Structure 1
Amino acid sequence: MTISTLIASFTGFFGVGTKDNPLPWPLALRLIAFVLLIVACAVYVLRPMKDWLYGPDVEDILTSTQPNDDFLRWSQARGMHKAVLENEHTLQKRSIVYSFGVSLLALEAMYAVAVSLVSR
């Protein structure tokens, strides 16, 4: 998000959107749209998950009636493996959105340079 905002700010450094050389509103709206889309991707990827399974079930450990520690470790490993498989779909979606956001960031940088060259 920060890099996206910096890229948008650098267009002002290149003389785009100054008082003497205003940025045409369609170009400015596209630059704002890039920033908003990148922020939306970042928020989606970074937002916390509710009921996210990532470790052993403490309740299962505390209520275990098995005297064998090996059985308990095996049971917990199976539970964590199940949680990893259940979380895989969500992680894949977030990975795709992250990749899309990085691509948008590259496109925004190229767009900002193009706008600065065209508006001179």
Structure 2
Amino acid sequence: VEHMHESLAWTDGVMLGREAYHRPMILHAMDLALGRAQPGAVTFNGVIERMTAYCEHEVGRGERLSNITRHMLGLRSGRPGARLFRRSLSEDARLPGATPALLATAAAAASSAFSSVMES
């Protein structure tokens, strides 16, 4: 984010490439750095809620849950519980009968892992 801020002093934009896919929350960090968003405007739990609604709609249309969740694996990147979150989405979303409620379950497991780290 710091490098982005420096680059914008002499250019019209910056290229994020795969970073935005692998760590999508960096987009919010950039908006914060540029003064385009308020702290807390985008949260992990808020994204999970919105994506759950989207998944419900798409699964209702016949889409496989895993086709959506595989693009969400980086949401928790670099934070406690990330591995558990990724594993839950990548493995459990492929199971027969997987529902969008899996997102909340995976998020809760990731948050629980975070709480365990904080208590240690």
How high is the TM-score relative to the length of structure 1?
A: 0.29
Task: Tell me which protein shows more helix as a share of its residues.
Answer: 1
Q: Which has the higher contact order (CA 8 A, sep 6+)?
A: 1
How high is the TM-score relative to the length of structure 2?
A: 0.29
